[in-house]
Amino acid sequence: MNNEINIGGLNAADIAAEFGTPVYVYDAGKIRAQYQRLKSAFPGVKVSLHYALKALNNINVLKVLKQEGSGLDAVSLNEVMMGLRAGFSPSQIMYTPNCVDFDEIKQAVELGVHINIDNISVLEQFGHFYGSSVPVCVRLNPHIMAGGHSHISVGHIDSKFGISIYQLRHVLRVVQSLKMRVNGLHMHTGSDILDAEVFLRGAELLFEAAKDFPDLEFMDFGSGFKVAYKEGDIVTDIEEIGNQIATAFKAFCAEYGRDLELWFEPGKFVVSESGYLLVKANVIKQTTSTVFIGVNSGQNHLIRPMFYDAYHQIINVSNPAGLPRVYSVVGYICETDTLGYDRKIAEVREGDVLAILNAGAYGFTMSNNYNARTRPAEVLVLDGKAHLIRKAEHFEDLVRNEIDVIG
């Protein structure tokens, strides 16, 4: 058994030795390959991919995707500014906020990005303020359950996201009375979508709704394509789904009377498999029922296992050919922060480096400073060389913004 991990052609253990642990490492080549695979999966239609930068927002990753021709999907004003800082033009950025103050939306308009609204009240405010002078996209909730976890399914009836498809007549009254210019319709059902039917059911709802919006330039179907987290996982067949969606979209455009752009907002699909969290085994602790590997990381660095019950494969890169043993991998946080239960891993010794796979999406961006722990460094493997792209935090970073008024 040999579980040697290479990241962009470089040995993971060597990267850990150079930069220390814990450290997030990303493979730029994998990011490029995933982006181009998705881009080419929808034959015969004009496809525009807007990478969801909430998944991973380091400026270097954004620049890699900009080189590939990507746009961005931003969900906050600061994400918009991150995109502009990375060199994206305002026209390449879609801003899709949720439950924000209207002043933030006005600031986004001033920056010149696309605006996507998912609330009738906000839509009315937007119309009163801008009328037809600023185009707007409307996010509809199709009431379709997607994915296997309520936290990653955002198109169901109890979701806070989007305007209910059943409120479409109200939307039209607002749009018409305020002479608004709707240039896009949007939906996003959630993550881990395997079946083209999920997209196609939502697409039919958007196609029907589009008949009442004569100024459309694009339709945005969100994303949610599933990647593999362990051997044998069922994943999205993006080429099969792409063919079906493209066929349906071409038929819609013919009926609509002109060709629109087909937009998607991939995040996890593009960066998840590119990322690795390298950690060190601090202790091996045997109890009456379990052998624990305690590592120098935890839910403060990778919260997905606790938040989503997500599975991440864990491999011993220091002893890849060791005899497999069963361990539970836990962190150093004073909470239950198990990164993997009952995992068969090549024998681990204290000091060994472990690689946690599929950590590129919603890893660093969801990290935090709980227990006054610092966040790790980030490294990008680009063209066969490992580059430090974010320094590890230190104690000074934790207290930088504190104001001592006691003296």
Enumerate domains of the chain plus CATH numbers.
6-25+272-399 (2.40.37.10), 57-266 (3.20.20.10)
Q: CB 284: neighbour CB atoms within 10 A?
A: 16
- pLDDT at position 193 is 55
Predicted confidence (pLDDT) per residue in 96-105, tens digit: 999 999 999 9
How much is the mean pLDDT over the chain?
Answer: 92
- pLDDT at position 152 is 38
Q: Which of 99, 137, 253, 334 is an active site residue? A: 334
Predicted confidence (pLDDT) per residue in 165-215, tens digit: 999 999 999 999 999 999 999 997 654 555 667 778 888 889 999 999 999
Predicted confidence (pLDDT) per residue in 259-275, tens digit: 999 999 999 999 999 99
- Checking if the pLDDT of 149 tops 50, the result is no
Q: For residues 79 and 88, is the Cβ–Cβ distance under 8 A? A: no
Between the two ends of the chain, the Cα-to-Cα distance in Å is 60
- Checking if the pLDDT of 54 tops 80, the result is yes
- pLDDT at position 227 is 76
pTM score: 0.93
Cis peptide before 266 (omega within 30 of 0): no
Relative to beta strand 314-316, strand 353-356 is antiparallel
Predicted confidence (pLDDT) per residue in 367-388, tens digit: 999 999 999 999 999 999 999 9
Predicted confidence (pLDDT) per residue in 332-367, tens digit: 999 989 999 999 999 999 999 999 999 999 999 999
- Checking if the pLDDT of 229 tops 90, the result is no
- pLDDT at position 199 is 73
Whether 253 is a known active-site residue: answer no
Q: For residues 183 and 216, is the Cβ–Cβ distance under 8 A? A: yes
- Checking if the pLDDT of 246 tops 50, the result is yes
Task: Calculate what percentage of the chain has a pLDDT beyond 70.
Answer: 93
Q: For residues 67 and 47, is the Cβ–Cβ distance under 8 A? A: no
Name the band, by pLDDT with cuts 50, 70 and 90, for residue 59. Answer: very high
Name the band, by pLDDT with cuts 50, 70 and 90, for residue 1. Answer: very low
Measure the CA–CA gap between 130 and 121, rounded to whole angstroms. Answer: 14
Taking every pair of Cα atoms in the chain, the longest distance, rounded to a whole number of angstroms, is 72
